A and B are shown apart, each in its own frame.
Chain A
């Protein structure tokens, strides 16, 4: 099973200053452990929300809102995609992660839906639609 492991933003990550060298080294080592254990599938750090944007959906209207965004703690600063054997294993790995920031922060663990999880509710047609979209997105990368 796969989990997305999300590092929540802090004032520091949102300020976008140079990363702390000590933390970077520790994170590098941790990432290496993840790879050596066959756990890490992907992972990226994200730039501050000031460089991002949001699109709000309301009926037929689409409103673009430029960053930065308030409610810092709800934003994300980075993520991993892990393959592990249980949620408990994901939690155990996160506990071993070096603190991503010197200030108080959170890492959130979310299980990825596998298509099987949708069961019969996801008809063959919606499946195809979703997958087509996914394939197009990755083709554009």
Chain B
């Protein structure tokens, strides 16, 4: 094994163990930022020692023990030099008085520490971006550089985001606990939001140059699958996993050979990954076995599953999709969901009914500059043979989108509709 091989092996071990090591240490020192610093110090020692000694048989325990010794060194040094650091000396006393806590931190058979870590990294006191970066760092074991490249952000920006997040958690003295009771729902939704944000960051990446970003999808799926095992009784967790698995199944079909996005209904269903669809449907079944009161991710997964089950675009059960959108709009009222519902209605009952559903959205200030509204409306009008109005809508949509490729597509449709008007003129 060359030095480079060993280095890569240590990196792999770190990614596998980081979350557990940091979680155990956080329980010890009650500060996730300090715990991560200590774990990083242990990693540096490992990078020095393991190339010579070989990777120990239980590398996770080795890293935790090493970091624990570093923690005690820190506290003793701090206490010797500055008695006034009350917090730190109190920590030290606590550590010395309660040695069993230290030992139990080494081994956590039921994964509660890991769950606590996920909850604290996704604490709603932090911005969503900060939660995502901190989660990838402490739960995913990613380096700051890897996170920065994935988010297309400069490394110092991400580094600062993580440092600030750690500081906020320490200052606000956020407890290292698994929320229960009424608190759980809100905290869990904060975790799910972060996982889905990470997923979507990766999902929007399409070209080869952006391939690093697609790894975010795998990372989010991994986090989701881990969470599903840690919180098996929570239907929304399985709902989110189902949604991500099914969306991931379309990865190869969602862009054409030139890299242009392909709309869901135009996708070649033969390109969909059947194994991921199978996993998604299984997760959905798990969610359905737990509740009949479906949450937002659960419902979106149901909608995705309606598409996944259809072998051809004309076999999609649109009635069912409409009913899921209606349910979704009840729990998350949003004009964007109404817009989607209108599209489903147009497929189930025709464009005239759907067009009427768009009326209230036209006056919604949130939709004023949203290009998909005129784009969808243009589509309904075109299907009704009202080409002149359709052309105007497509033009408006083209003027509103930020995406070059989309603009070209919409301008084409505007021209096509205008051309359809001409013969009657």
Contacts and interface: CB of A to CB of B under 8 A. Distances in A.
B107 interface: no
Interface residues of A, number: 28
B269 A135 contact: yes
A35 to B, nearest CB: 6
B contact face: mostly helix, strand, loop, or mixed: helix
Interface in B219-275: 221-226, 229-230, 252, 257, 268-272, 274-275
A contact face: mostly helix, strand, loop, or mixed: helix
Nearest to B253: A131
A83 interface: yes
Contacts of A1: 218
Interface size class of B (residues with CB under 8 A): 20 to 34
B278 to A, nearest CB: 8
Interface in A78-103: 81, 83, 85-86, 88-89, 91-93
Contacts of B12: 85-86, 88-89, 91-92
Contact of B252 (A41, A81, A115): A115
A63 interface: no
B11 A88 contact: yes
Nearest to B114: A36
Given A35-B229, A36-B226, A92-B16, A86 B8 contact: yes
Interface string A35-63: 11111011000000000000000000000
Contacts of B224: 38
Given A88-B9, A89-B16, A91-B9, A38 B225 contact: yes
A89 B111 contact: no
A138 interface: yes
A37 B269 contact: no
A116 B9 CA distance: 25
Given A38-B222, A124-B257, A138 B9 contact: no
Interface in B258-296: 268-272, 274-275, 278-279
B13 interface: yes
A134 B272 CA distance: 10
Contacts of B225: 35, 38
A38 B221 contact: yes
A65 B102 CA distance: 61
B23 to A, nearest CB: 13
A132 B270 contact: yes
Interface in A2-57: 35-39, 41-42
Contact of A83 (B208, B218, B223, B268): B218
B15 interface: yes
A115 B224 CA distance: 24
A83 B219 CA distance: 10
Contacts of A39: 222
Contacts of B218: 1, 83, 85
Given A41-B275, A88-B11, A92-B16, 4 more contacts: A36-B226, A41-B279, A89-B12, A93-B16
18 contacts: A35-B225, A36-B230, A37-B222, A38-B221, A83-B221, A83-B222, A86-B8, A86-B11, A86-B12, A88-B9, A88-B12, A88-B13, A89-B16, A91-B12, A92-B16, A128-B268, A131-B270, A138-B275
